[in-house]
Chain A
Amino acid sequence: MMNHELKMIPAREPPVMAVGVLAWIRNNLFASTLSIVATLLIVYGLFLSIPPLVQWALVDATWFGADSNACNREGACWAFVTARLDQFIYGFYPAEHQWRPNLFFAQLAVLVLWLSLKWTPGKQWVLGYSLLLMPFVSWFLLYGDLPGLEKVETHQWGGLMLTLLLALCGMIASLPFGVLLALGRRSNMPVIRSLCTAYIELWRGVPLITVLFMASVMLPLFVPEEVVFDKLLRALIGIILFQSAYMAEVVRGGLQAIPKGQFEAFNSLGLSYWQGMIMIILPQAMRLVIPGVVNTFIALFKDTSLVLVIGLFDLLAIIQAGLNDPAWLGNSVEGYLFAGFVFWIFCYGMSKYSQRLEQQLHQGR
């Protein structure tokens, strides 16, 4: 008979792969004939396009000047942007009051840094301030009409300041409305369910431009003059109502992904509907929909440029207006590139922040 002596096999290191820069290049760029051809083609394409672009945008560019004539025709005319930067940022906000938008920007920067850095304390309070108080504080800071703060009419607002304000208020307000609508659409109560469904389907079915036109042109026709409030505020409310419908569907997707057992578990423990929703279901659902929510936010941020159709001068509109200035004719490429760049910076920032948030929330699970 064989002697069955049990031998346990000890754990071993995995085989060492070929490492180093050369190995990486060989594996990823020159692995096969096809990949060699593709690599060479791409390198050639980059060689053709990058140097002229750098030459035009940086080397030959004119950075400062009083009008188009100061610009070197070979390169980009960034003088158009630098000369009008004030207007692009503040719109027609009176120069002596520009410390107020500056304070608004500074506040945003501090809040964003506070929320994105790892070691800052009291994040929940900062978040609470950002979501509940910040929009109102910002509005009163910019609008004034308070003791010590002169009133600055909203038709003087514009540029990046207006874009940020519209986007921020739209995001912050549409999220809670969206959550409520999503909960309503999944409610067991038929009246609430059909109302929420009708709302969502109605607002999702119309283009944002229509909503903005209705808010700016049609509303004053139907409502007595003394009741009609500020045009910017009307546009903002339109954006919020529109965006909450989209947000509701994103959040509903997250709610549907939560297993039925979670609902049963909190029910069987005697927690009420709202306790269960707020402490059990929503924290899990919101975690799942971060990519979708940020996607909606980014879309909203870019959609704010549509307010130009109702005569509000957001960043894009004010750059377009500047292009028509006789002193700066022929600078549309530079103008649109700048607008695109600024929009990209903010959208990319949001995307990065959301990725970070997802990582942080998945730690320990």
Chain B
Amino acid sequence: MACQSTASDSNNNYIKGANLMDELLDRSAIKDSIKKDEQAEVDIQHESGIDQSTLIEISGLNKWYGQFHVLRDINLNVSKGEKIVICGPSGSGKSTLIRCINCLEEHQEGSIVVDGTRLTNDLKNIETIRREVGMVFQQFNLFPHLTILENCTLAPIWVRKQSRKDAEKVAMEYLERVRIPDQANKYPGQLSGGQQQRVAIARSLCMNPEVMLFDEPTSALDPEMIKEVLDVMIELAQEGMTMLCVTHEMGFARTVADRVIFMDEGQIIEQAPPEAFFSNPRSDRTRKFLGQVLNH
């Protein structure tokens, strides 16, 4: 299937590097552990006590960049209200996975169903899904030529067809919730990184999405500003928002995640509730990764 993405990508260098990695790494150990995990995944689905209505259903997802196989046989169901943290080394495909959900990346095999709508080639279909899926980027991606308030009201006015007055009212509510209502008439360039990322979260929330995707939301921030963004995300989680979050913030994962997913080499290596994931990782690869992330 082909997404209607407006940006053209050039991943050639990336692909070459990753292919090399593929050859260098011996992956047999990983494959063994995956077999065990397939059974474990089924268990988790039944164990979790949260609302069972499925919001996102990903099955048999495969994606290639040219010759490079980035996502391999991904199966993932996300229930309404569930908070999932995806972690893994860089180049493991975690960002690509969540970007497939709102079709910023096209996939070649498998199916993605969001809130009952199956992702197809159809432009209308893609726009319907994007309306229900909010996304927060590593680089904030605010619109620099619009004020904070205009950033937040643009999509509600033009996509949801709200009146300017209603959209502004909603936007101010969300800006208050992320604690920057007084900046509403400034431009993004006048705000700090942490403030910009909170605006980006508010901008997504203004569309009243069913699910929020976070693509390393704190990775581009100064250490002093990470907490203010995480606090907003924790609040959001407590209010029951469905969240898929790619992050290296393991503290955040412990606090809010219902499930932690570990990815490597384009596949889901392990998934478990945070206590089990951190205290008793089953695969060697996960153990090694956690050792590197947690002990520094």
Q: Is A359 an interface residue (CB 8 A)?
A: no
Interface residues of B in 151-184 (CB under 8 A from A): 154-155, 158-159
Give which listed residue, B123, B135, B139, B190, contacts A268 with CB less than 8 A: B135
Cβ-closest chain A residue relative to B160: A270
Q: Is B116 an interface residue (CB 8 A)?
A: no
- Is B130 a contact of A261 with CB atoms below 8 Å? no
How large, as a class, is the contact surface on chain B? 20 to 34
**Residues A271 and B158 in contact in the complex (CB < 8 Å), given A261-B139, A263-B6, A265-B137:** yes
Give which listed residue, B7, B141, B187, B204, contacts A364 with CB less than 8 A: B187
Stretch binding the partner chain, chosen from B31-39, B42-50, B142-150, B275-283: B142-150
Q: Is A227 an interface residue (CB 8 A)?
A: no
- Is A271 a contact of B155 with CB atoms below 8 Å? yes
Interface residues of A in 239-276 (CB under 8 A from B): 259-273, 275-276
A183 to B284, CA, bound (A): 50
- Is A269 a contact of B137 with CB atoms below 8 Å? no
Q: Is A352 an interface residue (CB 8 A)?
A: no
Interfacial chain B residues near A273, Cβ < 8 Å: 4, 6
In angstroms, how far is the closest chain B Cβ from the Cβ of A124? 15
Give which listed residue, B7, B131, B144, B204, contacts A264 with CB less than 8 A: B7
Interfacial chain A residues near B190, Cβ < 8 Å: 364-365
**Residues A270 and B131 in contact in the complex (CB < 8 Å), given A261-B139, A265-B142, A265-B143:** yes
- Is B127 a contact of A270 with CB atoms below 8 Å? yes
Q: Is A351 an interface residue (CB 8 A)?
A: no
In angstroms, how far is the closest chain A Cβ from the Cβ of B204? 8
Using A267-B5, A268-B102 as known contacts, list a sample of 7 further A-B pairs with CB atoms less than 8 Å apart, ordered by residue number in A: A260-B7, A260-B9, A268-B133, A269-B204, A271-B158, A284-B145, A364-B190
Interfacial chain A residues near B5, Cβ < 8 Å: 188, 263-264, 267
Give which listed residue, A259, A268, A276, A364, contacts B134 with CB less than 8 A: A268
In angstroms, how far is the closest chain A Cβ from the Cβ of B226? 20
- Is B104 a contact of A268 with CB atoms below 8 Å? yes
Q: Is A280 an interface residue (CB 8 A)?
A: yes
A318 to B11, CA, bound (A): 58
Interface residues of A in 177-203 (CB under 8 A from B): 186, 188
- Is B154 a contact of A365 with CB atoms below 8 Å? no
- Is A269 a contact of B6 with CB atoms below 8 Å? no
Interface residues of B in 101-142 (CB under 8 A from A): 102-104, 123, 127, 130-131, 133-135, 137, 139, 141-142
- Is A270 a contact of B187 with CB atoms below 8 Å? no
A residues touching B (Cβ–Cβ < 8 Å)?
Answer: 186, 188, 259-273, 275-277, 279-280, 283-284, 287, 364-365
Interfacial chain A residues near B137, Cβ < 8 Å: 261, 264-265
- Is B133 a contact of A283 with CB atoms below 8 Å? no
In angstroms, how far is the closest chain A Cβ from the Cβ of B98? 11
A263 to B139, CA, bound (A): 13
A20 to B157, CA, bound (A): 56
Give which listed residue, A260, A268, A280, A365, contacts B130 with CB less than 8 A: A268
Interfacial chain B residues near A269, Cβ < 8 Å: 130, 154-155, 159, 203-204, 207
A97 to B69, CA, bound (A): 74
Q: Is B28 an interface residue (CB 8 A)?
A: no
Give which listed residue, A186, A262, A270, A277, contacts B155 with CB less than 8 A: A270
A266 to B104, CA, bound (A): 11
Task: List 11 contacting pairs A-B, 8 Å CB cutoff, sorted by A.
Answer: A188-B5, A188-B6, A259-B141, A264-B137, A265-B137, A269-B155, A271-B158, A271-B159, A273-B6, A365-B144, A365-B145
**Residues A272 and B144 in contact in the complex (CB < 8 Å), given A188-B8, A279-B154:** no
Interfacial chain A residues near B123, Cβ < 8 Å: 272
- Is A279 a contact of B187 with CB atoms below 8 Å? no
Interfacial chain B residues near A263, Cβ < 8 Å: 5-7
Cβ-closest chain B residue relative to A275: B158
B residues touching A (Cβ–Cβ < 8 Å)?
Answer: 4-9, 102-104, 123, 127, 130-131, 133-135, 137, 139, 141-145, 154-155, 158-159, 187, 189-190, 203-204, 207
**Residues A283 and B159 in contact in the complex (CB < 8 Å), given A261-B137, A270-B130:** no
Give which listed residue, A261, A272, A365, contacts B189 with CB less than 8 A: A365
In angstroms, how far is the closest chain B Cβ from the Cβ of A196? 15
Give 6 nearest A-B pairs by CB, closest first. Answer: A265-B141, A261-B141, A269-B155, A270-B131, A268-B135, A263-B7
A261 to B220, CA, bound (A): 14
- Is B143 a contact of A267 with CB atoms below 8 Å? no
Cβ-closest chain B residue relative to A280: B143
In angstroms, how far is the closest chain A Cβ from the Cβ of B216? 13
A273 to B137, CA, bound (A): 20
Interfacial chain B residues near A186, Cβ < 8 Å: 8
Cβ-closest chain A residue relative to B188: A365
Interfacial chain A residues near B103, Cβ < 8 Å: 267
In angstroms, how far is the closest chain A Cβ from the Cβ of B184? 14
A261 to B159, CA, bound (A): 19
Cβ-closest chain B residue relative to A258: B7
Which one of B127, B158, B204 has the greatest number of beta carbons of chain A within 10 Å?
B158
Interfacial chain A residues near B9, Cβ < 8 Å: 260
Interfacial chain A residues near B187, Cβ < 8 Å: 364-365
